[in-house]
């Protein structure tokens, strides 16, 4: 192990030994502070994130900093994570939570503030220390968060080293760090996630998004369009749970497209213009880093397309769906692909085929009041979350209006090469010991009863 990584790990290990002596109240006090600091400094941290990453929307990043700090702490407060956390007298099981140790967390430039905050809150809640390995375009943000935390930790008499940040992150150093820690959270590109799973340590990763948006017949089209546009344009489309497509019923297709236009969509009908745009967004078939997190005006300008200043999202109409079409992929900018279907089964098939291209295991966005249709899609689609009548980008990571665990790390199951098919939460970062007592009044059933 290189001396730099070795020193970080040694410092973290000593701090973790002290952290593990705290009671639940003191531990929770630190976790709450981690959230409140980001909440209180939402504006300057959002400004720094836009400047450093050169992507996203300042106002949306403020909302994200406030929203995530608020909801994550709210979901965690009052929850036990130290010592005895549960007793089931009937089953004769007593559960105790114990720390994993040091968590290595690789964090992305798309979420350079809330992902370090969230992962740190989950880690500290279970008395683990954390070392953040930020994306190079997110290191100033991680350092700024650390400085704010250190002021408060000093005031509380808590060792600063419970939260460490790699100052000059690189792929090599991050890989080394992951192998040296006790568990890994990798939120970012697939190369980083793969590296985490190759570290030899228990790892939680994410998969690429490509959220398919299905509109059912008879839903309120105005409301559906509003939610889907909001989902697509939030932070200029860099959120992995942002809606990527509009799969709409053929019989109402024109009405629905008109609704999207009325709410700020720039719909491209000309195949020549669509293919010109494709060359800019997907040069050589891979998304261009120059369009990620940029506004529709910037992207249209790069393609020589003139677009009104009031347009919020570009809608293209690919000739077909599924493999071999670049528009079937994830578009990390405010662009959506529109398709029409004759039957609900066909709508689900379009979504399914696009997910096979990219985004298996992530999420789907369904705008429907038909429970049978919703459940059909839920059974058929290879996704971990089916968001119904919600704004997927801001709600798939948990919201006050739903019961998903609030998080910045959305597991995508084996489809997305991930260990979990749910939202990462603090409960994933604890070891559990179980005291096993003999069950009261236990009785072994007869062989006849067992095999009846």
Environment class of 24 (CB within 10 Å of its CB; exposed 0-12, middle 13-18, buried 19+): middle
With contact defined as beta carbons under 8 Å apart, do 109 and 137 qualify? yes
What backbone phi and psi angles, to 5 degrees, belong to 168?
Answer: -120, 75
| Neighbour-count burial for 189-221, b at 16+ CB within 10 Å, e otherwise | beebbebbbebebbbbbbbbbbbbbbbbbebeb
Pairing of strands 265-268, 313-316: parallel
**Which two structure tokens, joined as six digits, stand for 452?**
């009846």
With contact defined as beta carbons under 8 Å apart, do 278 and 327 qualify? yes
**Which two structure tokens, joined as six digits, stand for 16?**
């973790």
Helix (H) or strand (E) holding 95: strand 93-99
Q: 143: left (phi > 0), else alpha (psi -120 to 50), else beta?
A: alpha
Active-site entry in 118, 126, 240, 412? 240
Q: How far is CA 190 from the centre of its chain?
A: 13
Q: Is 333 a catalytic residue?
A: no
Say how far apart CA 173 and CA 192 lie, in whole Å: 12
Which residues form the catalytic set? 240
């Amino acid at each position: 192990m290189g001396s730099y990584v070795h020193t970080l790990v040694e410092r973290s290990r000593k701090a973790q030994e002290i952290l593990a002596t705290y009671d639940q109240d003191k531990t929770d006090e630190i976790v709450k502070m981690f959230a409140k600091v980001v909440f209180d400094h939402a504006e300057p941290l959002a400004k720094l994130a836009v400047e450093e990453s050169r992507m996203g929307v300042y106002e949306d990043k403020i909302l994200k900093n406030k929203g995530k700090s608020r909801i994550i702490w709210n979901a965690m407060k009052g929850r036990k994570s130290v010592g005895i956390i549960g007793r089931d007298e009937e089953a004769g099981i007593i559960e105790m939570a114990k720390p994993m140790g040091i968590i290595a967390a690789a964090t992305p430039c798309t979420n350079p503030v809330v992902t370090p905050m969230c992962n740190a809150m989950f880690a500290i809640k279970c008395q683990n220390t954390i070392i953040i390995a930020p994306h190079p375009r997110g290191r100033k943000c991680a350092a700024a968060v650390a400085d704010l935390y250190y002021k408060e930790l000093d005031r509380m008499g808590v060792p600063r080293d419970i939260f460490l940040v790699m100052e000059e992150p690189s792929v090599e150093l991050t890989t080394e760090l992951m192998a040296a820690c006790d568990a890994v959270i990798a939120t970012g590109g697939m190369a980083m996630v793969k590296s985490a799973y190759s570290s030899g340590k228990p790892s939680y990763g994410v998969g690429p998004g490509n959220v398919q948006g299905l509109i059912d017949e008879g839903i309120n089209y105005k409301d559906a369009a509003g939610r889907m546009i909001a989902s697509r344009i939030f932070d200029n489309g860099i959120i992995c749970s942002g809606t990527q497509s509009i799969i709409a019923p053929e019989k109402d297709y024109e009405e629905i497209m008109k609704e999207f236009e009325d709410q700020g969509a720039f719909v491209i009908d000309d195949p020549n213009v669509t293919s010109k745009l494709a060359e800019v967004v997907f040069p050589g078939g891979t998304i261009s880093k120059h369009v990620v997190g940029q506004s529709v005006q910037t992207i249209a300008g790069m393609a020589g397309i003139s677009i009104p200043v009031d347009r919020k999202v570009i809608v293209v109409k690919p000739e077909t769906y599924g493999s071999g079409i670049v528009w079937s992929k994830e578009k990390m900018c405010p662009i959506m692909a529109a398709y029409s279907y004759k039957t609900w089964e066909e709508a689900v098939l379009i979504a399914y085929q696009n997910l096979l291209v990219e985004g298996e295991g992530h999420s789907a966005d369904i705008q429907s009041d038909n429970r049978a249709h919703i459940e059909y899609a839920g059974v058929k689609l290879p996704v971990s979350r089916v968001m119904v009548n919600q704004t997927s980008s801001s709600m798939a990571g948990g919201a006050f209006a739903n019961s998903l665990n609030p998080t910045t790390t959305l597991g995508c199951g084996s489809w997305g090469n991930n260990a979990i098919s749910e939202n990462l939460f603090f409960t994933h970062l604890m070891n559990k010991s179980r005291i096993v007592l003999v069950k009261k009044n236990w009785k072994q059933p007869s062989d006849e009863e067992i095999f009846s």
